[in-house]
Structure 1
């Protein structure tokens, strides 16, 4: 039971709807309206607005324009958020192909207000799409391209982008059972996350949870316990001792104690986790897992 990064989650990495560069768009007002709908949760309505904008842009600008590519990227992000993965991959690949052609031709004049051809969001969303489709090798390739984009590209990426990308790379390594490579990427992500948000931010706890899970998978119990206990401490400081995330950390601590055959400590951790879930009125799959582990210890 592990938490997910809000920006670059493990099981469902971030899909990005771009909005910061809409000033140079044809059909700009429609795009802005679509972004507002997306942010308010009206995703299918956002999709309809973006489709309308795209039609206008293609008629006005043709098929190989950065404005068209950007709108395709936004459509792909909405498809991804809806779980329409084949549709997402199709339009995101069209988007990245247009951007690549524009970037490769130095004679292309970029729209007013745009200083470079942005690739990160599209590459990240393609990585997310491939990951969710179970195409882990292509997901890794896209995430590595993301990392290259934000570390060696014309426009330097933010520390947050680098940390999130390393986190996603680490997660793919985990799925591929490449645990040593996973730990390298995740520990780099952890340090950058601390540098960006401070040592006691909830996002730090989330990375620590994944690091602990990797150690546990390798039966490195002391390292796993260290990571989970620190994640629990950070969660309590940043979110409060009765937050759901603290329950998840306690569950993971219990797993380590159980694997170490320290039954009493494991049961104490599970009971504490269950109590927090109860306080929050939570009754879901996570709660059932805790109960299952407790029943297993009683047998």
Structure 2
């Protein structure tokens, strides 16, 4: 801080702007630890010069959250993102793209931590905002698939099935460019939900479709195939 303030009479606000630029350059060079330090000091400068509830302070906190998310430091990313979201909601409103960016990152962060309840809260908010106007079909399908999986973890099988069917519908609109592995994964999750809802015939048909798709993909993931076969075995047991 003393170094920045001493350089040619630079005040904390100018120093913060320089540090944000430096942090961005360091991040591009994959020097993430240094980028974090640079941005953390910038947050202190902005908070002192403009206030902790200023949008520039919130912007740098969002950046810090994103960097820690990339590093897999999800527990440490969460406080930055929550503080940023609080300011962005107050200053910009819920529908502003910056607010939505922070909501999306928080949803992904909580999902990565394994906090299904909080992840669901934020994913639901995203879907309420985006689904009716979304032009990013792949992004929408991913959100719906994530939301469906979170409902499965919460044993909310009906809600899961609705999200998964919507995701499948969006994916199939993607034509030949669609991700077949994701399609198979979605079908497998649907089969699991149908099984728990005791809709055995539809579960069998869906899981057989999942198996066919997964076997044909380049990934040919043995774990996914085994999971699908296991679910089919459960269907057979329940029907017997």
Contact 1:143 1:169 in 2 (8 A): yes
TM-fit CA distance, 1:75: 1.5
Q: Name the structure 2 match of 1:141.
A: 121
CA contact (8 A) 1:228 1:249 kept: no
Q: Distance in 2 between matches of 1:230 and 1:140?
A: 28
**SS in structure 2 opposite 1:93?**
helix
CA distance in 1, matches of 2:38, 2:172: 39
Which shows bigger deviation, 200-209 or 44-53?
44-53
Aligned to 1:256: 231
Q: For residues 212 and 34 of structure 1, what CA distance do their matches in structure 2 show? A: 45
Q: Which residue of the partner structure matches residue 180 of structure 2?
A: 201
- Which of 129, 134, 142 is 1:164 aligned to? 142
- Are 2:21 and 1:29 aligned? yes
Unaligned runs of 5+ in 2: 1-15
The alignment partner of 1:118 has SS state of: helix
Point out the more displaced range, 172-181 or 48-57: 48-57
- Contiguous gaps of at least 5 residues in structure 1: 1-24, 105-115, 262-299
Number of equivalenced pairs: 218
Structure 2 partner of 1:125? 105
Larger RCO, structures 1/2 (Cα 8 Å, 6+ apart): 1
Q: Could you tell me how far 1:100 is from its partner in structure 2?
A: 1.0
Contact 1:212 1:225 in 2 (8 A): yes
- 2:65 maps to 1:76: yes
TM-score for the superposition, normalised by structure 1:
0.60
1:134 and 1:32 mapped to 2: Cα distance? 29
For 2:78, which of 75, 89, 92 is the aligned residue? 89
Residue pair 1:69, 1:96 contacting (<8 A) in 2 also: yes
Distance 2:135 2:41 in 1: 31
Matching of residue 212 in structure 1 with residue 212 in structure 2:
no
| Contact 1:92–1:126 (8 Å) recurs in 2 | yes
For residues 246-287 of structure 1, the C-alpha deviation after alignment (integer angstroms, 9 at most, x for no partner) is: x234313421343315xxxxxxxxxxxxxxxxxxxxxxxxxx
Cα deviation, residue 186, structure 1: 0.9
In structure 2, do the counterparts of structure 1 residues 223 and 103 end up closer, same or farther at CA, with 3 Å as the change threshold? same
Q: CA deviation at 1:103?
A: 1.4
Equivalent residue, structure 1, for 2:92: 103
Cα distance change on mapping 1:35 and 1:163 into 2, 3 Å: farther
For residues 109 and 60 of structure 2, what CA distance do their matches in structure 1 show?
17
1:183, CA displacement in angstroms? 0.3
Q: TM-score of the superposition, structure 2-length normalised? A: 0.72
Contact 1:170 1:181 in 2 (8 A): yes
CA gap of 1:225–1:34, structure 2 versus 1, over 3 A, is farther
Confirm or deny: 8 A CA contact 2:207 2:232 kept in the other structure. no
1:180 CA drift (Å) = 0.8
1:191 matched to 2:191: no
Change (3 A) 1:236 1:95: same
Match among 226, 241, 251 for residue 205 of structure 2: 226
**1:31–1:50 contact (8 Å) kept in structure 2:** yes
